[in-house]
Amino acid sequence: MADNKQSPKKQGSKQALKMLAGYAKPYRALFVPTVLFALISVAATLYAPIVIGQAVDVIVTKGNVDFKALVPRIALLLSTVAITALCQWLMTLCTNKITYNVVRDLRNDAFSKLEKLPLSYIDSHPHGDIISRMITDVEAVSDGLLMGFAQLFTGLCTIIGTLIFMLTINVRITLVVVIITPLSLFVARFVSRNTYKLFHKQSVARGELTSLVEEMTGEQKTVSAFGYEQQAIEKFEQANKALSDVSVRAIFFSSLTNPTTRFVNGLVYTSVGIVGAFTAFSGGITIGQLSSFLTYANQYTKPFNEISGVITELQGALASAGRVFELMSEKQEVSDEGAKVITHFDGRVDASGVDFSYTPEKPLIKDFELHVRKGQRTAIVGPTGCGKTTMINLLMRFYDVDKGSISVSGENIRDLTRESLRSGYGMVLQETWLKTGTIRENIAYGKPDATDAEVVAAAKAAYCHGFIKRLPMGYDTVISDSYATLSAGQKQLLCIARVMLSVPEMLILDEATSSIDTRTEILVQNAFAKLMQGRTSFIIAHRLSTIKEADSIIVMKDGHIIEQGDHKSLIQKGGFYAQLYNSQFAVT
């Protein structure tokens, strides 16, 4: 019964081990030399004491030292040592290579998984936790593997080697050693099972702390703006304490292995002493043999110590690996396999009978109908939270609809590859996102092979050329999302330049110009207008200057379209839109 309780955890670590083995498989060619070098170095290590013993044997008493026999023994010792050292070094190189290759593959796969996870996962999971799995946990796997590989194997070889040497001396005493030693394995197993659980808990607590640090340190500016430092520190201290409480237990428990197995080894040593002594009474063993037996008994149990240490380390690595694989086995976006590649867009976009919600309990969009012809400019307006941004998530297929269908050029977007569908759209979002890299790379993000002239032309079209020129390194200035010298508006202009360069068939602008001053905005709008001539566009905006010119205005409220028409007709109708429009002048 107790075993049943353990089994899910055990299975978890077994599963992780199996998957890790899969990652090591491509490097199995390296296992052969690793094993070879390990075997040679272990054999040589075990042989060295024999040579030394023989050397000691020729140093007997005063005037009775056989220097002629001593010299070759010393020479033999030195060459054995040289071989051992060389093989040890080569073996470490091999294990390093395996470990770092596996870790690289693991990270690459985890990252590739990241690109395939549905947005619903990314939107609803703390980024700090995902990052900690990819960076810290993979690091733990690498540490665990590195220690494990090298020691587990040499340890096993040493055990077998010593066992053979012992058997050649006395079978009965060897049996005593063999029977008692597994006790230490039993103890080690008990410890490591508990350690795994505690390490897992520690991982969780660490993930929570990382999330908090991501939030508070990542948004340090907001924290200091509100003088919230004290509270932030308090929250942090709490999480910090929770982590250290579980850490003390995890670390203590994991370090139990060594002393307890060493204690068992002490018992083995003592037992050999007693049994050996009584055997010596009956003349079954000489004193010299007993003393070398004791040396070997020590050598036999030492690797058990190491192995149990390694097992603990591996437990930690496996707990981390488990978290990494958990991320990797997360459900990913429905595959594009078999989907059609759409190359020609005729500008039609239709949504019929669309239902959608982020959580089943709270229906958001119900029975949504939208039919857009080629070249139409559609503005979507409505109070905040009415589902405008959700429209983008659905049009771009960041989320799939629950019911109904959305089609582009008459093709259901579910039947198209995401890449080809998205290549038809250009998107500028309200929340600007820039990659760490040069301005040039950022503008050419949608078209990495763009020429310099194209980049500059796009920058000019989006009115960023002027301020880019004034930056210390011009187009080669390295910027990032938190680059302070660029204002929010300038960042937005860069995002617009990014879209200008890729010349999409359809355009989605979600508050794309909200941070840009209106004088520049008008110029950008004109550029957009030129760009969008004959192309379909969706515009979400609050500014009337942006909305007024649209061919069709969709007024949304609570996930439904409540009004539809052009500016003039909607104003005449005197409904919700007219109310919205007039409200902008209703200032005290």
Partner 1 sequence: MFRLARFLKNYKIQSIFGPLFKLIEACFELAVPLIMADIIDTGIKNEDSSYILWRAGLLVLLGVLGLTCSLTAQYFAAKASVGFGKELRSALFKHINTLSYAEIDKLGSHTLVTRMTSDINQAQTGVNMVLRLFLRSPFIVLGSVIMAFTISVKLTLIFLIMSPALAFVIYKIMSATIPRFKKVQSTLDKANLQTSENLTGTRVVRAFSRQKDEQEEFEKNTEQLRIMQITAGRISAVMNPATYVLVNLSIAAILWFGGKSVDTGSITQGEVIALLNYMNQILLALLAVALLVTNITRMYACASRINEVFDVHTSVSDEGNTAVPEDKSAPRVEFRNVSFCYAGSGENTLDDITFAVQKGETVGIIGGTGAGKSSVINLIPRFYDATSGSVLVDGTDVKLYPFSQLRGKIGIVPQKAVLFKGTVRENMRWRDENATDEQIWNALEIAQAKDFILQKQGQLDYGILQQGKNLSGGQRQRLTIARALVGDPEILILDDSASALDLATDAALRRSIAEKTEGMTVFIVSQRISSIRSADKIIVLDDGRIAGMGTHMQLYKTCEVYKEICLSQLSEKEVAQHG
- Which residues in 505-524 contact partner 1 (CB under 8 A)? 511, 514-522
Q: Is 502 a residue that touches partner 1 (CB under 8 A)?
A: yes
- Please, are residues 354 and 404 in contact by the beta-carbon 8 Å criterion? yes
Q: Is 194 a residue that touches partner 1 (CB under 8 A)?
A: no
Residue from 17, 31, 33, 136 in contact with partner 1 (CB under 8 A): 136
What would the two tokens of residue 316 be?
A: 């930690």
**534: alpha, beta or left? (left if phi > 0; alpha if psi -120 to 50):** left
Handedness of CA 548, 549, 553, 556 (dihedral sign): negative
Find the shortest distance in angstroms from Cβ 559 to partner 1.
12
Name residue, tokens 């239709």: 350
Residue from 38, 42, 130, 394 in contact with partner 1 (CB under 8 A): 130
- Please, are residues 216 and 210 in contact by the beta-carbon 8 Å criterion? no
Residue from 6, 7, 11, 112 in contact with partner 1 (CB under 8 A): 112
What would the two tokens of residue 184 be?
A: 């230490």
User: Cα Rg for the chain, rounded, in angstroms?
Assistant: 35
Residue from 31, 163, 269, 284 in contact with partner 1 (CB under 8 A): 269
- Residues that bind partner 1 (rule: CB under 8 A) add up to a total of 174
Find the shortest distance in angstroms from Cβ 411 to partner 1.
17
- Please choose, out of 3-11, 191-199, 408-416, 493-501, the segment that lies near partner 1 by the rule CB under 8 A: 493-501
Q: Is 585 a residue that touches partner 1 (CB under 8 A)?
A: yes
Q: Is 543 a residue that touches partner 1 (CB under 8 A)?
A: yes
- By CB under 8 A, what part of segment 202-231 binds partner 1? 206, 209-229, 231
- By CB under 8 A, what part of segment 1-60 binds partner 1? 48, 52, 55-56, 58-60
What would the two tokens of residue 497 be?
A: 């330049």
- Please, are residues 394 and 354 in contact by the beta-carbon 8 Å criterion? yes
Q: Give the Cα-Cα-Cα angle 110, 115, 120 (nearest 5 degrees).
A: 105
Cα dist from 459 to 318, 441, 479, 480, whole Å: 50, 12, 15, 18
**For residue 128, which amino acid is it?**
G
Single out the residue of 254, 266, 271 nearest to residue 188, CA to CA: 254
- By CB under 8 A, what part of segment 386-405 binds partner 1? 389, 396, 398
- By CB under 8 A, what part of segment 282-311 binds partner 1? 287, 290-291, 294
In sequence order, the 6+-apart residues with CB closer than 8 A to the CB of 547 are 379, 381, 539, 541, 553, 567
Question: How far is C-alpha 208 from the geometric centre of its chain's CA atoms?
Answer: 15
Question: How far is C-alpha 312 from the geometric centre of its chain's CA atoms?
Answer: 23
Q: Is 164 a residue that touches partner 1 (CB under 8 A)?
A: no
Find the shortest distance in angstroms from Cβ 78 to partner 1.
6
Nearer to partner 1, 159 or 191 (CB): 191
Question: Which residues is 565 bridged to in the sheet?
Answer: 553
Find the shortest distance in angstroms from Cβ 439 to partner 1.
14
Nearer to partner 1, 86 or 328 (CB): 86
Q: Is 578 a residue that touches partner 1 (CB under 8 A)?
A: no
Q: What is the rounded CA–CA span in Å between residue 351 and residue 412?
A: 9
- By CB under 8 A, what part of segment 57-96 binds partner 1? 58-65, 67, 70, 73-74, 77-78, 81-82, 84-86, 88-89, 92-93, 96
SS3 readout for 434-460 = CCCEEHHHHHHHHCCCCCHHHHHHHHH
Q: Is 236 a residue that touches partner 1 (CB under 8 A)?
A: yes
- By CB under 8 A, what part of segment 241-260 binds partner 1? 241, 243-244, 247-248, 251-252, 255-256, 258-260
Q: Where are the beta strands (DSSP E) in 100-183?
A: none
- By CB under 8 A, what part of segment 410-469 binds partner 1? 418-419, 422-423, 425, 427, 429-431, 433, 435-436, 445-446, 448, 467
- Please choose, out of 8-16, 101-109, 192-200, 406-414, the segment that lies near partner 1 by the rule CB under 8 A: 101-109
Residue from 21, 160, 277, 529 in contact with partner 1 (CB under 8 A): 277
Nearer to partner 1, 5 or 485 (CB): 485
- By CB under 8 A, what part of segment 319-358 binds partner 1? none
Nearer to partner 1, 4 or 583 (CB): 583
Single out the residue of 531, 540, 546 nearest to residue 499, CA to CA: 531
SS3 readout for 148-174 = HHHHHHHHHHHHHHHHHHHHHHCHHHH
